[in-house]
Amino acid sequence: MSIRFLVIDGFNLIRRIYEARIHKDKHQSEPRDVSAQDMFQVIEATKTSLARALKAHQPTHAAVVMEHHDKTWRHLLYPEYKANRSETPPMLLSKLPEFAAAFTDIGVQSFGIDSYEADDVVATLASVVAANNGEVVILSTDKSYLQLVNDKVIVYDHFANKRCDRAYIKEKYGIDQQQYVDYLALVGANSNNIKGVQGVGPKSAVILLSEHGSLDRILSAQPDSAMLRKVNASSPDALRSKQLVTLKIDVELGQNLKSFRL
């Protein structure tokens, strides 16, 4: 039987549902206190949402990859990494074992790896499955996963019911899928406090990539325009940004694919 693997970015799913339920009144000036009953309802809603995803995608295998919320190699490389993010609600963090137990109730194993973000673990798992000729659906609204898209891997926005494949990337960003990491290196990733190249926005990045093909070629080109000179002067920032946005696909998972069979 061929593998069809549903990989769930666990905290992405949990946080989206938590925010929608706890802060559903957009007119609130301050977040209200969160009760144990609130959290029970969020856990149940997340469990139901995952069950809906299983029904929709009909996977043979599934895993929820969870964040350990510890320091990672990106923080060591760039101390300001994610410094612009608000603190994760302590109540939500304290309930993560209960979310994992709820996922187990419907047959889906949860796991995470110390010192690695879920992004790198998801990327490695997807790459391993694809290398074994399996199909992968990554359930997340995190656009960093678009760099993994190929004939075997897609990203699925569970909340917008949107399939994000190569055609989506071309239509949404105006670039080819293999240029996506270089695009992020140029424009940055605001949600992670990665700055990119100052003065280079999405339109400029698309023009540069359409003319030169890749970040390496942009940096090696003769700086005969204001935009090229700007990127050339900020080459250390661009290269560091590329390193930060590139997902690792060689994390030691310590798991056998068979353990995720449904």
Closest by CA to 67, choosing from 143, 10, 144, 23, is 10
pLDDT value at residue 56: 96
- pTM higher than 0.85: yes
Cβ 237 vs Cβ 198: under 8 Å: yes
115: its two tokens: 């010192």
Sheet containing 135-139: give its strands across. Answer: 109-111, 61-65, 4-9, 135-139, 153-157, 162-164
Q: Walk along the chain (262 residues) and give the pLDDT tens digit of each residue.
A: 689 999 999 999 999 999 988 866 555 555 567 888 999 999 999 999 999 999 999 999 999 999 888 889 999 898 988 888 888 888 888 999 999 999 999 999 999 998 899 999 999 999 999 999 999 999 999 999 999 999 999 999 999 999 999 999 999 999 999 999 999 999 999 889 998 998 999 999 999 999 999 999 999 999 888 999 999 999 999 999 999 999 999 999 988 889 999 9
262: its two tokens: 């449904």
How far apart are the C-alpha atoms of 122 and 101, rounded to whole Å?
20
Beta carbons within 8 Å of 210's beta carbon, 6+ residues apart? 174, 175
How far apart are the C-alpha atoms of 137 and 48, rounded to whole Å?
18
221: its two tokens: 């080109």
How far apart are the C-alpha atoms of 125 and 136, rounded to whole Å?
9
